[in-house]
Amino acid sequence: MANSAEKQKRENLVDMFIQGARKGWQISTNSMLPNVVMAFVVIQILNVTGLMKIIGNVARPLMAVFGLPGEGVVVLLSAFMSTGGGCGAAASLYGSGALNMTHVSILMPAIFLMGSMLQYLGRGLGTADANKKYWGLHVGISILNALLSMVVMRLIMAFF
Amino acid sequence: MSSGEMMHERKRVTWVSYVALLVAIVIFSGYFAKVTEWWRVFDFTTLLGSFGNIKGAEASFNFRGAGGVGARDGFLFSLSLMPAVVLALGIVSIVEGLGGLAAAEKMMNPLFKPLVGVPGIVGLAFITSLQSTDGAAAMTKQLFDDNEISDKERTIFSQLMFSANATITNYFSSGAALFAFLSVPIIIPLVVQFVFKVFGANLMRIIVNISEKKAVA
């Protein structure tokens, strides 16, 4: 082929897409699905045992500040452990009617801003060899980010 | 060394890169979600399409059905999300391959110093951090070892990456679980994440500066 040299230099669009799509498949099966299944099982356990109602009642005053029902706290706690779990918990609670679209929208950025903190301590800060003196603060600031983002999302919701 | 040689190691940024970046932003913004003309192909939900409905009694459900709970419901739900993750990361991969992310890096480089107080050389690590926590962290350590950034700058930059780490990858994989339940365009929660990443880094910058002054005094 005349332009094979050119082709070698430039990966074609199809190859690029397939590469990314394959990564998407791997993330879906290795990371997302196990996390979502875990979150759905946790929510099921909380529902069956009646713990969800108790958590909802206890967290109601705090979550009300962000325009969320008490159950919203389960999403944040799950997110802290794993981002995928937080998303799964939110999806499950949406499915059961505990959260509506406005609630999910308010929670959305927060799930990521305070997501997978423990994991990222090792994989992020540990690998970068960041000053250990500030590790606690990294977590604290990220949680603050998440809380403030819910306030901002609540304001943004006024436009939609 | 000519600028051409300097760019040789990295992805080449041409006008195609900027177009690719722009098109991707349009696709994910949902800007054309509501139009009915042909240009709705530039919309993520259009490209994602829909599952067929299972013909049933009165309601038409897709394979997930309704009213499921527990692991089985979680499994089918995950299955229903996979097309979105596969498609989204495929699109991101094209943008990256055409140099769109490098173009974003180029545009952002001059912003790092005024916005978060770290040198623009962190640009490549930052762009990497949008996709990979581990890769970006390793690059950050390298930047410190090469004396390109100080320990203080490393802490501030680490905060920028730490909150909402692997932003793009996480948002378009795990986050896809919630795209259908959002009452805002999917790009808005993403923009809010970036705003707070910068906010958090600046909070860290202030605290580190204060604690360093104390240490000197």
pLDDT of A1 above 70: no
Contact of A99 with A93, CB cutoff 8 Å = yes
In percent, the amount of chain B with pLDDT more than 70 equals 93
Of A24, A27, A104, the CB nearest to B182: A104
Contact A24 B85 (CB under 8 A): yes
Q: Which of B97, B52, B31, B212 is nearest to A18 (CA)?
A: B97
Contact B162 A125 (CB under 8 A): yes
B61: β partners: B54
Helix axes A72-81, A101-113, angle to 10 degrees: 30
Query: What is the C-alpha to C-alpha distance for residues B160 and B47, in angstroms, rounded to an integer?
Result: 32
Contacts of B20-26 with CB under 8 Å at 24 or more apart are: B20/B94, B20/B95, B20/B98, B20/B99, B20/B100, B20/B103, B21/B95, B21/B100, B21/B101, B21/B103, B21/B104, B24/B91, B24/B92, B24/B94, B24/B95, B24/B100, B25/B187
The shortest C-alpha distance from B106 to chain A (Å) reads: 21
Contact of B71 with A41, CB cutoff 8 Å = yes
Chain A positions in Cβ-Cβ contact with residue B177 (cut-off 8 Å): 32, 36, 84, 87-88, 90-91
Q: What is the pLDDT of residue B51?
A: 81
For every residue of A27-93, DSSP letters joined together read HIIIIIHHHHHHHHHHHHHHHHHTHHHHHHHHHHHHHHTTT--TTHHHHHHHHHH-HHHHHHHHHHH
More confident call, A155 vs B53: A155
Contact A113 B207 (CB under 8 A): no
Of A13, A102, A127, the CB nearest to B134: A127
Q: What is the pLDDT of residue A28?
A: 86
Q: Which of B94, B158, B75, B169 is nearest to B122 (CA)?
A: B158
Q: Can you tell me the mean pLDDT for B177-204?
A: 94
Q: What is the pLDDT of residue B53?
A: 77
Q: Of the ranges A1-5, A7-11, A34-38, A61-65, which one carries the lowest mean pLDDT score?
A: A1-5
Contact B90 A24 (CB under 8 A): yes
Q: What is the ipTM of this complex?
A: 0.84
Contact B96 A39 (CB under 8 A): no
Which of the residue ranges A102-106, B120-124, B143-147, B180-184 has the most confident prediction, judged by mean pLDDT? A102-106
Q: What is the pLDDT of residue A118?
A: 82
Contact of B78 with A33, CB cutoff 8 Å = yes
Residue A7: which pLDDT band, with cuts at 50, 70 and 90?
very low
B54: β partners: B61
pLDDT of A6 above 50: no
pLDDT of A16 above 50: yes
Query: What is the C-alpha to C-alpha distance for residues B142 and A139, in angstroms, rounded to an integer?
Result: 23
DSSP assignment letter at B52: P
pLDDT of B164 above 70: yes
User: Over chain A, what is the mean pLDDT?
Assistant: 89
The shortest C-alpha distance from A85 to chain B (Å) reads: 8
Q: What is the pLDDT of residue A21?
A: 93
The shortest C-alpha distance from A63 to chain B (Å) reads: 19
Q: Of the ranges A75-79, B35-39, B59-63, B147-151, which one carries the lowest mean pLDDT score?
A: B59-63
What is the reported pTM?
0.84
Q: What is the pLDDT of residue B77?
A: 85
The shortest C-alpha distance from B104 to chain A (Å) reads: 18
Q: What is the pLDDT of residue A101?
A: 96
Provide the greatest CA pair distance for chain A. 71
The shortest C-alpha distance from B113 to chain A (Å) reads: 19
DSSP assignment letter at B14: -
Chain B positions in Cβ-Cβ contact with residue A36 (cut-off 8 Å): 74-75, 77-78, 81, 177
> Six-digit token pair at A120?
């990222």
SS (H, E, C) A93-152: HHHCCCCCHHHHHHHHHHHHHCCCHHHHHHHHHHHHCCCHHHHHHHHHHHHHHHHHHHHH
Residue A154: which pLDDT band, with cuts at 50, 70 and 90?
very high
pLDDT of A150 above 70: yes
For testing contact with chain A, the best of B78, B91, B161 (most A CBs within 10 A) = B78
DSSP strands (E only) in chain B: none
Type of residue numbered B39 = W
Type of residue numbered B191 = V
Contact A130 B140 (CB under 8 A): yes
Q: What is the pLDDT of residue B60?
A: 57
More confident call, B4 vs B173: B173
pLDDT of B148 above 50: yes
Q: Of the ranges A46-55, A59-68, B34-43, B47-56, which one carries the lowest mean pLDDT score?
A: B47-56
Q: In this predicted model, what pLDDT tens digit does every residue of B6-65 receive, in sequence order?
A: 333 467 888 999 999 888 888 887 778 788 888 888 888 888 888 877 776 555 577 877
Q: What is the pLDDT of residue B115?
A: 93
Chain A positions in Cβ-Cβ contact with residue B96 (cut-off 8 Å): 16, 20
Q: What is the pLDDT of residue B6?
A: 35
User: Over chain B, what is the mean pLDDT?
Assistant: 85
Type of residue numbered B6 = M
